[in-house]
Structure formats: C-alpha cells, structure tokens
Amino acid sequence: MTPRVTGATPTSGDVADHTEAVVTRRFRRDELASFHGATVDDLLPGPGDPPLRLLFVGINPGLWTAAVNAHFARPGNRFWPALHRAGITPWLVDASDGMQSDDLRMLRERGIGISNVVPTASATADQLSRDELVAGGVRLVGAVERARPAVVAVLGLTAYRRAFARPAARAGRQDELLGGAVCWVLPNPSGLNAHETAASLAVAYAEAARAAGLELTPPG
C-alpha cells in the first residue's frame, strides 16, 4: 500500500503556523485505489481537552482522505469552506495534504470532532452496502456514547436513513437521540452533491453548531 502522506501528527500540543503555504500532493489513480478499505483516524478530544460539543459524521472516507489521513481532504470538498463561512472555524482549514497541528488544536479547543458512519474508505459512498451502513450505525452509536458530544451532525440523509432504519427521516434536527446526543442530519459536502453550495452548507452547519453551544464568528 502507498504510504500515507500526513501534514502533521495529531497531537494537541504541537505548534504550527496555519498561514504556512501547503503544497497539495497529486495522486495517480492507482495510488488512490490502493487506499480502498483503509481507515482514517477519528478526530476526538484527548486527555485535558475541552468536552466534545459537536461531532460531525461523514458517510465514509474517500480515497484521498484515506491517503492523507485527514477528514474531507479531497480538493473540491466543501466541508472546510462551509465551516469557515459559518464561523465554526476562525480560518479556512486546508486538509488536502493532511491536517496541520494548529488546525487540530483549534478544533479540539472548540470542542469539534469528526468521525464516519462507515470507517473504511471507498471511491464513492455509493459503493457501500446496506449491511456496511447498518454495522457502521451500530459502531457510531457506541462511539458517541463514549465521546458524549452535545450534538451529532450526520452529513448525509440517505446514509442516515439506511444506517438507522429510519426511511422517513427528514433533514434537520431529529426527534430521536443518537447514542444519547441530540442528532442533526445535514447535507453532505461532497462535490457530487450538486444541490448544495458552500454557502448553503454553511447555513445548515451553523444551525447544528449553535445547538451545540458553539460561538460562531463568520468572516468579514
């Protein structure tokens, strides 16, 4: 398997300048394909970090994300631009070549975590079977019960419906808790989701962030 490219070791004590230029690596198609089935580290609080307020949950990692071991890393994904537009992050995170240590520290200090329903990578979420989504849902409930966030934001309505056998679920705040946490189902930021823009995603994500008690500081 191709070695992972990582921009930083995920420890909260490291110091880095987030204004540094990050040169995005380009992967060949066969290099990316080698990461099918790989996993990506969950971003969760470490010892001494503030409590987890908001846990974003993707469907599963893409191949680029697995290659650099950083969530929503593929260039063109709208997750990080939407978070910055919403004021959830004070600067625009560039995860395309791996997470920088000051980005990781900022997220932990703000009580923001990231996980996935299904932990293993694929080229697209459409490649996941219903059984994989259901098993991922069980895994996610256990992870939420251990991490105890105030709010869980699942980014993908169809995946949520299949993983938790709730075919009538609608986007927005759910009536049912997930692992003891308030659950929101929000649009997926993948570029394949043509119905959404970074601006519309920012509006949706800001709602869940406010529900989690985060102070938002939109740019400008």
Asked whether the beta carbons of 82 and 189 are under 8 A apart, the reply is yes
The mean pLDDT of 143-172, rounded to a whole number, is 97
- With a cut of 70, say whether residue 13 has pLDDT above it: no
| Collapsed DSSP state (helix, strand, coil) of residue 178 | strand
Pick the closest to residue 117 from 128, 101, 106 (CA basis).
128
Per-residue pLDDT, averaged over 40-54, amounts to 95
Q: What is the pTM of this model?
A: 0.88
* pLDDT tens by residue, 86-138: 999 999 999 999 999 999 999 999 999 999 999 999 999 999 999 999 999 99
Mean pLDDT over 5-15 rounds to: 36
**pLDDT score, position 27:** 85
Closest CA to 172 of 187, 159, 184, 158: 184
Q: What pLDDT is recorded for position 15? A: 32
Q: In what helix (H) or strand (E) does residue 85 lie, and over which residues does it extend?
A: helix 79-86
What local confidence, expressed as pLDDT, does residue 14 receive?
Answer: 32
What is the spatial distance between Cα 29 and Cα 31, in angstroms, rounded to a whole number?
5
Q: Could you give the angle at the alpha carbon of 203 between the alpha carbons of 99 and 155, nearest 5°?
A: 55
pLDDT at 164: 98
3-state secondary structure of 213: coil
DSSP string, 22-80: -PPP---HHHHHTTTT-B---B---TTPPPP-EEEEESS--HHHHHHT-TT-STT--HH
pLDDT of residue 24: 62
Give the pLDDT confidence score for residue 194 in this predicted structure: 82
CA atoms lying within 13 Å on the CB side of residue 106: 17
pLDDT of residue 192: 83
Domains by residue range for the chain, with CATH:
43-211 (3.40.470.10)
Average pLDDT of the chain? 90
User: Residue 79 contacts by C-beta under 8 Å, 6 or more apart in sequence?
Assistant: 56, 71, 72, 155, 189, 201
Q: Exposed (0-12), middle (13-18) or buried (19+): which is 45, by Cβ within 10 Å?
A: buried
For residue 18, the model assigns a pLDDT of 42
